[in-house]
Structure 1
């Protein structure tokens, strides 16, 4: 059994970092809570494996995690040390959002597996361990409360298993990619992960307004109720769904309680909402009190007018021809290699982007190479889709 060291102090963090700084590669994973037990995204555990020992670094007991974890952040930023993750995008977004950490020299085993072209779907770590190593790993703690202390021994073992097999998995997948001549594919995709950055959504309510078919005249009330719920959730340190559920948002907008008495009788609300000051804030949204402020237009750079809808006549015909050529090339890649690789090179989203922006701007070099070589092999003109659409 690999030794597991559980770290809860800044002194031990520093000592671990002094050992790890001399390692050529580290297997890394994070456990975090994303609006399940508390408000916001909260780091709960950092797992690191150096090939000999698993380190479970617990940020919860630290008084100033951002400062006390800096020795680890130095390692993650160091391009001389390879960091092996599985499906790392959520982890690196969290590190950027909470600590401004931009991880360098990433190898993602989910990226490696995807580029083998054996499946369309992202594979879970447990399934990948089973498929490649023939081991059954217990995933029973996956949805446990990682913010609750003390951690159980089962949680610690689960967390250790998330990094313990990453080196062996990566080595096996690297060998398979090498046999297929696709190592440079993985290098390009992993390099691109270094540029992933967190960006705050200034209008998060729009994401769910569409789901509940909120009409334009209902949007100001929906927005204000959504934002009030979010502010209350932050003050109570509870996920918004614990204040009241998303489906209640649309129900309340369409049947808004008339006054404070109605709000007290409303089902599905957190108990704190039925007394001051929150009761008064909710009552301000009732029909006799609510002042509708129209939703401001999106900035020009955020407006998403579908490119094809802006075209007509000869331009629309040329766009249709680009789409037909890309569809034909995708069919050829399917026949020449397989459908999984064809979708990696020309998914529906990528086709739409290429029609507007051109393959040279949209695709990675390895994708461009496949597209160019396929076009040449089948007597088609890659140049017709390489550059941006001429308006």
Structure 2
């Protein structure tokens, strides 16, 4: 099987085009669409950014370009309760638009939740194989780390993006039959009602680092301050934080706190001397801040 194939699609890159398409769906009683996002997650620039929304309405495919569409137009679309959005594992997508825009996805049906009810725990590719007996395409894995901010979008990335919504309706239908046979309809309805609802407060980034839970309370304070220092410089330079300093070094510094500039410099060596100088200066400020917090 080829790693990608050609789709016919409509490219939506303005508020007026998106509003017109939304009105078309309303006026033609199209009440359900398959939807997925592509984003930038601190791989190529600083921060998390919605880069692409791909849609299949059962008859036609669409690429919605959020880089050229206002927050207001995206909100009208994504928060529209009259349009059901069929997705796979919507949690990270819902989190992305909530953090970036304050948008709350409305009327979401997450086929991953249904799949878990009937015992499936894998990814979308495996679910397509399980439900539809369609073998996995090759060459898709590398696209997961592609730069989705780049325009124009490369043809192979377009095909990759659209393939993620191609089978969602069919998967939903298969799973619905399995859930009915298992008598799990009520449970599925309950799960879908909160599919895109935030399950708890967003954890700060430093708490997600490997090894955080094994640190002492004092070490956690140092990690918090060092993490924020790195984040501040990454934001200023619009670079992914990992290019400033590896996250493992942050944890190591929290365990064995450098005593001053010389020790910081020996730990955080950077190929760009200016970046290293700025980082060491910020870490010295962080060291002072953590020390004062611990003395309270």
Scaled to the shorter chain, the TM-score interval is 0.7 to 0.9
Rounded to whole Å, the distance in 2 between the matches of 1:161 and 1:218 is 45
TM score, norm. by length of structure 2: 0.83
Question: Structure 1 residues 273, 262: CA separation in 2 closer, same or farther (over 3 Å shift)?
Answer: farther
Name the SS of the counterpart of 2:194 in structure 1: helix
Partner of 1:8: 13
Question: Structure 1 residues 219, 114: CA separation in 2 closer, same or farther (over 3 Å shift)?
Answer: closer
Please, which moves more after superposition, 105-114 or 205-214? 205-214
Runs of 4+ in 1 over 6 A off after TM superposition: none
Partner of 2:133: 134
What is the correspondence of 1:1-391 to structure 2 with a 5 Å cutoff? Answer: 3-22=8-27, 23-60=30-67, 62=68, 65-67=70-72, 70=73, 72-116=74-118, 118-119=119-120, 121=121, 123-138=122-137, 139-140=140-141, 141-196=143-198, 199-201=201-203, 203-208=204-209, 210-211=211-212, 213-253=214-254, 254=256, 256=258, 258-259=260-261, 263-264=264-265, 266-269=267-270, 271=272, 272-275=274-277, 277-284=278-285, 292-295=291-294
Name the SS of the counterpart of 1:282 in structure 2: helix
Please, which moves more after superposition, 218-227 or 151-160? 218-227
Deviation at 1:197, TM superposition (A): 6.3
TM score, norm. by length of structure 1: 0.65
8 Å contact 1:6–1:55 — kept in the other structure?
Answer: yes
8 Å contact 1:242–1:270 — kept in the other structure?
Answer: no
8 Å contact 1:6–1:56 — kept in the other structure?
Answer: yes
Rounded to whole Å, the distance in 2 between the matches of 1:226 and 1:294 is 15
Q: How many residues matched?
A: 284
Partner of 2:3: none
Deviation at 1:137, TM superposition (A): 4.2
8 Å contact 1:244–1:270 — kept in the other structure?
Answer: no
Deviation at 1:47, TM superposition (A): 0.8
Question: Structure 1 residues 105, 219: CA separation in 2 closer, same or farther (over 3 Å shift)?
Answer: closer
Deviation at 1:196, TM superposition (A): 2.6
Deviation at 1:6, TM superposition (A): 2.1
Name the SS of the counterpart of 2:145 in structure 1: coil
Partner of 1:333: none
8 Å contact 1:28–1:46 — kept in the other structure?
Answer: yes
Rounded to whole Å, the distance in 1 between the matches of 2:81 and 2:285 is 53
8 Å contact 2:11–2:63 — kept in the other structure?
Answer: yes
Question: Structure 1 residues 219, 94: CA separation in 2 closer, same or farther (over 3 Å shift)?
Answer: closer
8 Å contact 2:218–2:294 — kept in the other structure?
Answer: no
Deviation at 1:14, TM superposition (A): 2.6
Deviation at 1:129, TM superposition (A): 0.8
Name the SS of the counterpart of 2:153 in structure 1: coil
RMSD (CA atoms): 2.8
Rg (Cα) greater in structure: 1
Q: What runs of 5+ residues in structure 2 fail to find an aligned partner? A: 1-5
Rounded to whole Å, the distance in 1 between the matches of 2:162 and 2:43 is 22
Structure with more relative contact order (C-alpha pairs < 8 Å, separation 6 or more): 2
Rounded to whole Å, the distance in 1 between the matches of 2:210 and 2:58 is 47
Deviation at 1:251, TM superposition (A): 3.0
Deviation at 1:151, TM superposition (A): 1.3
Deviation at 1:43, TM superposition (A): 0.3
Question: Structure 1 residues 291, 166: CA separation in 2 closer, same or farther (over 3 Å shift)?
Answer: closer
Query: How far does the alpha carbon of each residue in 1:350-371 deviate from its partner, in whole angstroms, 9 at most, with x for none?
Result: xxxxxxxxxxxxxxxxxxxxxx
Question: Structure 1 residues 231, 270: CA separation in 2 closer, same or farther (over 3 Å shift)?
Answer: farther
Rounded to whole Å, the distance in 1 between the matches of 2:266 and 2:164 is 46
Q: What runs of 5+ residues in structure 1 fail to find an aligned partner? A: 298-391
8 Å contact 2:114–2:175 — kept in the other structure?
Answer: yes
